[in-house]
Amino acid sequence: MHKITYTGDGVTTEYFFSFPYFQSSDIYVSVNSEILTSGQCTVIPSVSERVDGKYTGGRVVLSQAPSLGAEIRIWRKINLSRVIDYQPTLPISTDCLNADFNFILEYMRDIYELDGDIANLENGLQFLDSIQYQIEQLGDFSQLVHKDEMPDFTTFVTKDEIPDTNNIATKDDIPDISNLATKDEIPDISNLATKDEIPNISNLATKDEIPDISNFATKDEIPDASDFASADHTHNMSEYATVSALNNAVSELQNALDDVEANTFPITFDSDDNPDVVVKSRYPSAANNYTWYRVYKSGWVEQGGRGGAINNGTLSVTLPITMANTNYFPMMTNIIPQSASTNNYGGTGVSIVNPSKVQFATSANISNFVWMVIGFASPVAL
């Protein structure tokens, strides 16, 4: 019996064999005595072409690598089925005969090597009976067509007489007939207007006389008329002020404002005062770590926030608004818990690192502190 055995290593999925076979169904594979199905393994021949109707060997590819120490067996059991079909009116090829006899020979070898297995022997006899039946179907060779009975090939059309197929419509050139109207879909022409019923087109508007429809409101732009007031609910428009009357009222109000004397304004300034206004600001929130600032038109800036925890050490804070130079005024105050201990108290100090960074220090152990910086901002930061 043609058989080869391997031991699994938990990784390998391809196993080779060198005995001949005719088709993939002739090869069987088992792992630990469990025969695998076609979905669990694939049989691949060593060469793509058969020699005398059979493959000389190949390999099996398992969908999953067998476990370490597993027993993998590969053996041949020829599947008893016809691979060549002889036709009564066709010549018998020697290659086909050799392939069929090789098939019979290999099958008989399997029977012999299986030590006379009755089932295999019966299958072999059935196969031989099938071969005999096919030969009998060929009939008497005297019934085959004689050379003189063959038709005169000179009466056939030559290659040059065949029309140019390039002029013939291809499948893609033929229109989709599903798009054509069926008999039932063609309208009744008796319902169409006659020549006399067609209006005089000279009375129709020309292309230039048709207005530009892009200036029209679209369906979505037209308001819902149900929201409009009915005729009984509209007001008497004569009771409303006209545009000219409204303009006159605005002019009178402006004149009244111009007549207001300066000393009646709510805020008074001396002649040498230079009022300043906030032009940029940010309110503290959890998102910005409670950092805030107010930038004035003059360039003066006030900014501050919460710094974080310090344990007898220092903490640097990057300012949200860069200062013009290091001549600004930083300050800090420790946030003391309600149940404070002695280590929550201590001295504080500040160090101006550069126009955009201040270093705060304390000898206390605190969870947070409040800082503030005032001075002139850098023009770039405005």
Whether the predicted pLDDT of 374 surpasses 80: yes
What is residue 34's predicted lDDT score, i.e. its pLDDT? Answer: 93
Residue type, 303: Q
User: What is the signed CA dihedral for 85, 86, 92, 95, rounded to 10 degrees?
Assistant: 10
The predicted model gives 7-28 an average pLDDT of 93
pLDDT > 90: percent of the chain: 33
Query: In a 3-state reduction of DSSP, which class is residue 152?
Result: coil
Per residue, what are the HEC states of 230-297? CHHHCCCHHHCCCHHHHHHHHHHHHHHHHCCCHHHCCCCCCCCCCCCCEEEEECCCCCCCCCEEEEEC
pLDDT at 293: 96
Over residues 293-303, the mean pLDDT reads: 95
Q: How far apart are CA 297 and CA 275, in angstroms?
A: 10
pLDDT digits (tens, 9 = 90+) for 247-259: 888 888 877 766 6
- Given this model, what pLDDT does residue 66 score? 96
pLDDT in tens, 34-59: 999 989 999 999 988 888 778 989 99
- Report pTM: 0.33
Quick one: tokens of 116?
Answer: 């006379």
The pLDDT confidence band at residue 321, using thresholds 50, 70 and 90, is very high
pLDDT confidence bin for 240, thresholds 50/70/90: low
Q: How confident is the model at residue 109, as a pLDDT?
A: 74
Give CA–CA dist 235/229, Å, rounded: 10
Decide if 294 contacts 281 (C-beta within 8 A). yes
Q: What is the pLDDT of residues 169-211, one digit of tens each?
A: 777 877 777 788 787 888 787 777 787 888 787 788 788 888 8
Distance CA 334, CA 347 (A): 9
Specify the pLDDT at position 1.
64
Q: pLDDT of 56-88, one tens digit each?
A: 899 999 999 999 999 999 999 887 777 677 777
**Residue of higher predicted confidence among 245 and 317:** 317
